[in-house]
Structure 1
């Protein structure tokens, strides 16, 4: 995903510069043709020439006054709309475009690969110096919470071992809280402790790694906020090009959700095979159906937490049964 973003942005910079050069060349050729035509014509008298100059100056003033001001910070797409590549050309600011092609270095590429972001930029916001107190704080959080997760896993293993002797529903109830806490701790370790630690070491100032997932009032809202970096990547490289191609917002969102589920369900497929893989792909349809029936607000937030608590416990039981049957 990072390499795709890197190639896409540099591809857009290259085409914007080439299109601008071609446009400037066309203007120069047109001006030369006009000058040649003027030389061939006979010069008018001085009085008529002065009158014409005054008229031209007045017309130019009126034109400049009527023209709407343009934003100098953003480079518009100079490629014609008939070009098939036009929907895939991103808007790039004038300041960033000046950095191309000097940004094509090994150092710049490896900084982007290590940086806590998925969207490539020609110039990243950085902090002036590293704050070692924050680095130590996030490092302590990371190490201590990893040990807490290990302890919770050891607490869950005896419950799973007794699953064959007792009812599965009772096992599900006993596993709800520890598995939900393990999931939330894992979320905090990666998206808060680790990514902030990495961002502080690399002086990366953009720290919006996740949104307020705890306030999500639907499953779809949760998927939008739980990984902001992935959401930004999908919006920039998938959603906006599809909208420019003429797709409706509904179908563009559905394509983004399906592709997002494919990325995440690919990892689940090896552990849970076809059942959870199909469940992940059905989440966009299931989420929209629940929004129509229950709606948003407190009921939606209650349903979201019910989903977080019980689905992870059920997934743990299913994984245990799958591994037990595979080994036996």
Structure 2
């Protein structure tokens, strides 16, 4: 008969001392041998949650009272008899074959959160010492005119040029509207788009070269000009393809599996949204989020201001003094030049990381949130890239998508080999990097162009094929 809590008619076992105690049996020799053969942990063996039957009685403990007894055991602490038996010196301490956490077979199965936190602590400690040492050596070098000064007013021609860049998307819209109404021929449309896109780049270059502007102002204008050029090319190329698909469908010449994601339409609203959206690839409609998170946007703006200040602090306090106190790399000792370059590498890395975080994460996400732009894959995990080519495909997704959509695959469709298409894509990227650096500095040495082209992993056969295509 089961033990009941009812005081009337309940059968009490004389071995039960009180209502809250649990009926237990002392481990026998058979249970001892079973204990040594078990692979369970010590905690599970000493939990005391299993019911025990009395050898002299057929009574069993009911499930509800068993749970209550287990909870009572947990509140009361480990059972004395279990502890006395379980933690004996004869209990095996080694039961399985195990590898060390840092062994080659086990290192990638472990969580390295603790090591990551340790590295953060070390970086904070080391850089705090460097900051204190720098302040003691040079003092506070950031002046009051770091953010804005009277010299910035002389860059007003660049500011006016930046505002006038809006004329080129308007001109492209007029050309597309005429093409939609079939007022001009297709080859005239292509020619006009080429003229508009080329002028959008050459006009800022001439303004920067004629004006004695600051480096930051020139870089900003050149970046905006390159972005406008890429967007204009995407706008013209996408509408050209939509027109071709529409004409093929109307004539019944399209393939059976041809499917247009969007109808061909020329809308000024779509163009205006595209010109301010954080993407370089045009399409009539984009995935949109349901609402704007205003509190989230405010927090990202605060982060943007903080990390921009950190970037400026590193440039003014570390990079500029090192450059001013260094000799020309080709006029001094080679070991001294190497030491200077290595000393500049760490602050340059910090500036690059701050720039990446500020622009690709903070600014583009802020812009996407304000415009309710849905696709926010502005970068991938480039820090896990195993090759240089993989890194270039992952760190700047807007440019990568533009290259794939409007340059790489069009080259393949025209019969250009894959290696030559990759080389063309790298050449275009290297050219724009050179423009963004050489034009504001007024120095045309092809340093940025050569640095990117040296990273191309192409063999001599690809170069010969490309040279053959040029000739």
Whether these two folds match at TM > 0.5 is yes
Name structure 2 gaps, 5 residues minimum.
1-229, 460-471
Q: Alpha carbons of 1:281 and 1:172: their partners in 2 closer, same or farther (altered >3 Å)?
A: closer
C-alpha distance in 1 between matches for 2:454 and 2:275: 30
Instruction: Render the CA deviation track for 1:268-308: whole Å, top value 9, x for unaligned.
Output: 223353151442353244x458xxxxxxxxxxxxxxxxxxx
Partner of 2:426: 257
Deviation at 1:150, TM superposition (A): 1.1
- Within a 5 Å distance, the mapping from 1:16-31 to structure 2 comes to 16-23=245-252
**In structure 2, C-alpha distance between the alignment counterparts of 1:190 and 1:220, rounded to whole Å:** 22
The answer on whether the counterparts of 1:192 and 1:209 sit within 8 Å (CA) in structure 2 is yes
| Aligned position for 2:281 | 119
The answer to which structure, 1 or 2, has the higher relative contact order (CA under 8 A, 6+ apart) is: 1
Q: CA deviation at 1:238?
A: 1.0
What residue number does 1:282 align with?
453
Question: Counterparts of 1:292-311 in structure 2 under 5 Å?
Answer: none
| The one of 192, 196, 199 aligned to 2:365 | 196
Structure 2 distance, partners of 1:133, 1:288, is 48
**Which residue matches 2:416?**
247
Q: Distance in 2 between matches of 1:216 and 1:4?
A: 29
SS in structure 2 of the partner of residue 273 of structure 1: coil
1:9 maps to 238
Matched, 1:133 2:295: yes
- CA distance, structure 1, for counterparts of residue 451 and residue 289 of structure 2: 38
Greater Cα shift, 202-211 or 149-158: 149-158
Alpha-carbon spacing, 1:188–1:13, altered in 2? closer, same or farther (3 Å): same
SS at match of 1:217: coil
Q: Distance in 1 between matches of 2:268 and 2:455?
A: 39
Cα 1:159–1:281 change in 2 (3 A) is closer
Distance in 1 between residues matched to 2:415 and 2:427, nearest whole Å: 19
CA drift of 1:233 comes to 0.6
Match of 2:128 in 1: none
Name stretches of at least 5 consecutive residues in structure 1 with no aligned partner. 25-69, 76-91, 290-328
Is the Cα–Cα contact under 8 Å of residues 142 and 193 in structure 1 kept in the other structure? yes
The alpha-carbon deviation at position 225 of structure 1 amounts to 1.4
Q: How far, CA to CA, are the matches of 2:325 and 2:245 in structure 1?
A: 64
Residue 35 of structure 2 aligns with which residue? none
**Cα offset for 1:215?**
1.6
Question: 2:167 corresponds to which residue?
Answer: none
Answering whether residue 467 of structure 2 is matched by residue 273 of structure 1, we say no
Q: Does 1:237 align with 2:466?
A: no
Q: CA deviation at 1:22?
A: 2.2
Q: Does 1:142 align with 2:290?
A: no
Aligned length: 219
TM-score normalised by the chain length of structure 2? 0.44
After superposing on structure 2, the runs of 4+ consecutive aligned residues of structure 1 that deviate more than 4 Å are none
User: Which residue matches 1:155?
Assistant: 317
* TM-score with structure 1 setting the length: 0.62
C-alpha displacement at 1:120, in angstroms? 0.5
Mapped to 1, the partners of 2:269 and 2:314 lie a distance apart of: 41
